């Protein structure tokens, strides 16, 4: 497991906290959900597009 540190200004943090609360999550849970969603989308994209095509865009 890796630790990720993100620095946000106060306004951005409170906006994200509000969004997290609307989904009944803590900030950490909301970030985890976002990362899991991104990983899921990425894995699906990899299945649909040949790896060579993805690598050429990086």
Give the separation between CA 29 and CA 37, rounded to whole angstroms: 12
Of the CA atoms within 13 Å of residue 26, those in its CB half-sphere come to 3
pTM for the full predicted model:
0.65
Per-residue pLDDT, 35? 92
Residue predicted with more confidence, 56 or 1: 1
Give the separation between CA 58 and CA 55, rounded to whole angstroms: 5
Domain boundaries, the chain: 10-56
The pLDDT mean for the chain works out to: 86
Give the separation between CA 32 and CA 9, rounded to whole angstroms: 20
Tell me: pLDDT of 49 over 80. Answer: no
Q: Is 53 buried (19+), middle (13-18) or exposed (0-12) by CB count in 10 A?
A: exposed
Per-residue pLDDT, 50? 66
Residue predicted with more confidence, 48 or 17: 17
């Amino acid at each position: 497991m890796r630790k990720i540190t993100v620095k946000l200004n106060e306004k951005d943090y409170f906006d994200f906290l509000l969004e997290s609360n609307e989904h009944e999550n803590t900030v950490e849970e909301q970030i985890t959900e976002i990362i899991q969603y991104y990983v899921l989308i990425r894995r699906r994209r990899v299945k649909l597009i040949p790896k060579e095509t993805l690598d050429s865009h990086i």
